[in-house]
Structures are given as structure tokens and as C-alpha cells.
């Protein structure tokens, strides 16, 4: 999959016969996103055209809420890897800035979709909006498709357990600790991925050595103590207990993902791991002493082991 950040760098030879395009933030790549991607990739293969996904960095919601942006469900690298796995050929991800914010819907269609991407087939969700002040909608695209000669495919919203699947609904479920609902909407457990970095070795001194992962997010979608499974260390997943927070007992300020992997000992610094969140155990809290913290860590580890053993049964 090719990553393109500027329209002038677009591989126009790949687009000579046209392209099949979808547009959106695609944060989390939930069940609804995956249905859209399947439609795009299938249409592209049928037409012998590249499948193109257009997104933005930062996302429009982050741009307009710069002081307190919504929590990202996945890092850019995670999104890139999953889009490549889904079969997208070109990931066009320009910077969302003032010029993009002010572009009229008609200009967006002509300059970007037609002249830039040579769009022959566009696939969008039923709630899709675009361009200046979100003035463009599906009705706008229907008229443009007829006038400019591209096909328009619409994919209806997906529901799961009576809930419309959306990134917002997943963020809300994660914020209240409802990992079961988040898993249902995502179609898989919520995951955080990242490289293991050197920490202050506090966990090792307390009897719980941890793999520390830099979140690389301004806001985390989850906070607290969790039963998790880790992929990327050895063959198969490893059961673990994890903390996402700022270590209030030690007056920490920067949120960090710390993972204690059960029955595992090895030099893992620099490894890239995936942490799947299975169940939330409790809120993070500040303890009056280190002994109180360690006693609670014993309880957390026992609870995580119990939950994960039942989940695997």
C-alpha cells in the first residue's frame, strides 16, 4: 500500500484507468468501516482499478477541538497496517488545515475526487458529509455523479445489539468501562499497539515487572486497570494485567500503558506489541503507601487471571 500525503505526489500511472475511492476518518476500523472497505476493495478488483482511501491528519474533529480532541481509537501506524491488510492500494492522507477546511463541496469533488484521484466509483456511508462546514452530503454526490460520470455506492449503517456502530459509540463504551459493548461494535477486542520503551523500573522493584508502551495519543480512550492479552512476544497470545494511567501514587503526570505479562521473563525492550483489552478491573487510584499499592496489585493480578481463564474456556 502506498502512503501519499500530497496530491502532487499521487502515483498517476496507477490511476490512469480510474480508481475506487472512499473517504473518512476510519478511526478504530469497526464493523461498519470493514463493510465499507470490503465494498471498496471488491469494486476495485472487479474494475481492475486501485482501491483508494482518503483520510486526514489530524482528523477534522481533532482540528476543530485542538484543546481537547476526542480520544483516538488507534494510532496512525495501526490504521496504516490494518488498511494495508484490508486490501487498500493507496492511502491518501493530506494534512487537514485551513485550506482544506475552507474548500467548497463542488471544488472538493472536481479538484480532489476527479482531477486528483480520477475517481470512477465512490463508496460512502449513509451519513457521509464533507467539505466546508460539512455542506456536502450524499444528495450532493448523487447530482455530481450524474454530471461528472462517476458511480456512487452507498453503504447503510451497521447495527450491533440494537446500537448503530460508530467510533463515537465505541469511545463512549470504552470511557465507561464497557469493554463487552466495545468489542461487539468493533468486531474484536479493543487494541493498543506500540513499542516497548525503557521505564523507571518501578514495577520490577514492586515485584511486577512491566512492559511500558508509549501511548502516542493526546487522549487515551481507556483509563484504569485491565485484564488483557498481549500479542507479539512469543508464539500465541500471553495473558496479562495492564494499567493505563499516570501512576498517581508516584505523582506521575504522563499517561502510560504498563503491562505485566504473567509467567514470562525475557528481554523485550524495543519489541512492538499488541495489547487486547478483555475486561476492566477498576479505576486507577492513589494509594496511601507503596504497601497498599502492592496489596492491590496482587488482587488485580488474581482477578485478571481468573477472568482470562474463563474467557479462554
**Which is higher by pLDDT, 269 or 249?**
269
- Is residue 192 a contact partner of residue 182, using CB atoms and an 8 Å limit? no
- Is residue 69 a contact partner of residue 58, using CB atoms and an 8 Å limit? yes
Give residue limits of the domains in the chain. Answer: 2-160, 190-312
**CATH superfamily, with its number, for domain 190-312:** Riboflavin kinase-like (2.40.30.30)
Peptide bond into 127 cis (omega under 30): no
- Which phi and psi angles does 183 have, rounded to 5°? -65, -40
Full-model pTM: 0.91
Q: Which of 239, 220, 236 is nearest to 228 (CA)?
A: 239
Average pLDDT score over the chain: 90
In total, the chain counts a number of residues equal to 313
Q: How high is the pLDDT of residue 70?
A: 87
d(CA 133, CA 54): 18
CATH class assigned to 2-160: alpha beta
- Is residue 147 a contact partner of residue 109, using CB atoms and an 8 Å limit? no
| 145-173 confidence digits (pLDDT tens) | 999 999 999 999 999 989 999 999 999 99
DSSP code of 128? -
Contacts of 166 by beta carbon, 8 Å cutoff, 6+ apart: 30, 32, 157, 185
Residue 247 pLDDT > 80: no
Asked if the domains 2-160 and 190-312 are classified in one and the same CATH topology, the answer is: no
Q: What is the mean pLDDT of residues 87-116?
A: 92
Amino acid at each position: 500500500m502506498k502512503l501519499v500525503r500530497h496530491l502532487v505526489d499521487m502515483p498517476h500511472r496507477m490511476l490512469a484507468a480510474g480508481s475506487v475511492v472512499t473517504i473518512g476518518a476510519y478511526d478504530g476500523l469497526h464493523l461498519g468501516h470493514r463493510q465499507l472497505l470490503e465494498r471498496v476493495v471488491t469494486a476495485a478488483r472487479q474494475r481492475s482499478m486501485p482501491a483508494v482511501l482518503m483520510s486526514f491528519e489530524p482528523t477534522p474533529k481533532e482540528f476543530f477541538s485542538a484543546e481537547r480532541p476526542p480520544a483516538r481509537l488507534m494510532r496512525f501506524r495501526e490504521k496504516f497496517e490494518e488498511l494495508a491488510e484490508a486490501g487498500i492500494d493507496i492511502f491518501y492522507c493530506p494534512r487537514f488545515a485551513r485550506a482544506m477546511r475552507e474548500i467548497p463541496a463542488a471544488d472538493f469533488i472536481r479538484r480532489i475526487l476527479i482531477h486528483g484521484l480520477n475517481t470512477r466509483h465512490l463508496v460512502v456511508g449513509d451519513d457521509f458529509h464533507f467539505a466546508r462546514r460539512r455542506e456536502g452530503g450524499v444528495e450532493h454526490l448523487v447530482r455530481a455523479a450524474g454530471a461528472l460520470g462517476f458511480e456512487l455506492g452507498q453503504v447503510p449503517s451497521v447495527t450491533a445489539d440494537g446500537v448503530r456502530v460508530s467510533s463515537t459509540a465505541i469511545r463512549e463504551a470504552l470511557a465507561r468501562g464497557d469493554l463487552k459493548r466495545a468489542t461487539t461494535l468493533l468486531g474484536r477486542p479493543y487494541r493498543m499497539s506500540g513499542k516497548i520503551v525503557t521505564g523507571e523500573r518501578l514495577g520490577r522493584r514492586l515485584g511486577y515487572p512491566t512492559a511500558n508502551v508509549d501511548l502516542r495519543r493526546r487522549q487515551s480512550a481507556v483509563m484504569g486497570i485491565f485484564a488483557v492479552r498481549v500479542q507479539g512476544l512469543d508464539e500465541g497470545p500471553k495473558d496479562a494485567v495492564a494499567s493505563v494511567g499516570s501512576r498517581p501514587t508516584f505523582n506521575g503526570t504522563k499517561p502510560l500503558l504498563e503491562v505485566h505479562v504473567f509467567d514470562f521473563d525475557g528481554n523485550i525492550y524495543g519489541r512492538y506489541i499488541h495489547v487486547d483489552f478483555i475486561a476492566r478491573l477498576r479505576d486507577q487510584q492513589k494509594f496511601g503507601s507503596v504497601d497498599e499499592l502492592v496489596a492491590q496489585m496482587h488482587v488485580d493480578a488474581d482477578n485478571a487471571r481468573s477472568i482470562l481463564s474463563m474467557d479462554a474456556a
